[in-house]
Amino acid sequence: MLSKIAIVSLLGFLLLFGGCERKKEQQQNETRSSVSQKSAQSEAKEKEAPSTITLHTTNGEEILLTATPKGIIFKGYEGKIVILDFFATWCPPCRAEIPHLNDIQNAYKGKVQIIGILMEENKDDLEIQQFEENMGINYPVANSPANFALADALGGIRSLPTMVMYDKNGDYFTHYVGAVPQEMIEADIQRALTKK
């Protein structure tokens, strides 16, 4: 029989390194139609012209994203590796990774841009700005309905945190589901920086 300490340690580990399930995504999955309809919708999306999404940050800036066949062009961040961090303020693993993302943003200034994508509805910018201040967030945080459109365009975000990395050309490079060690992210950044 496991001791109480072992059980508490195991729960803490799962909380820290696991992901937080999105309740909204679970509800959407239950109401979605059959797999064949999803396939038809995906094929229709692929045939459409490249789409754009405009994210609105908590400090009033806009970030224009344009879909390409290989990834996304981030207006204003051309030539940089971009990491999209899908997170929620209530998610413990999301909160635990913020100091690591701050370190990465500082260490790779001018080469990497992290963008926080808040996956919570009806949150006031002032409330999120307070959260950013309390957590010492040093990268922009998007807080708008477009965040959910972006998540859907990427195939749906089912667990938080989820990060998606794009290389200097805006091409998809890798992604992470759940909290991951900072060293792993930095190793991938190094690979993306040397990619031709």
Domain boundaries, the chain: 19-194
Query: Does residue 67 surpass a pLDDT of 50?
Result: yes
Q: Give the whole-angstrom CA distance, residue 135 versus residue 1.
A: 39
Tell me the pLDDT tens digit for each residue of 74-95: 999 999 999 999 999 999 999 9
What pLDDT sits at residue 196?
A: 76
Architecture (CATH level 2) of domain 19-194: 3-Layer(aba) Sandwich (3.40)
Tokens read off for 104: 């990465």
What pLDDT sits at residue 19?
A: 62
The pTM of the full predicted model, rounded to 2 decimals, is 0.78
Among 108, 178, 174, 172, CA closest to 138? 108
Tell me the pLDDT tens digit for each residue of 97-150: 999 999 999 999 999 999 999 999 999 999 999 999 999 999 999 999 999 999
What pLDDT sits at residue 106?
A: 98
What pLDDT sits at residue 10?
A: 35
CB-side exposure of 10: number of CA atoms within 13 Å? 6
Cβ–Cβ contacts within 10 Å for residue 11, how many? 10
Cis-peptide into 69, omega within 30 deg = no
- The DSSP H or E segment spanning 126 is helix 125-135
CB contact at 8 A, 76 and 63: yes
Tell me the pLDDT tens digit for each residue of 141-174: 999 999 999 999 999 999 999 999 999 999 999 9
pLDDT, mean of residues 59-63: 96
Q: Give the whole-angstrom CA distance, residue 141 versus residue 18.
A: 22
Tell me the pLDDT tens digit for each residue of 17-56: 456 764 444 433 333 333 334 444 444 444 444 499 999 9
What pLDDT sits at residue 169?
A: 96
Among 114, 123, 125, 133, CA closest to 63? 114
Among 79, 156, 65, CA closest to 119? 156
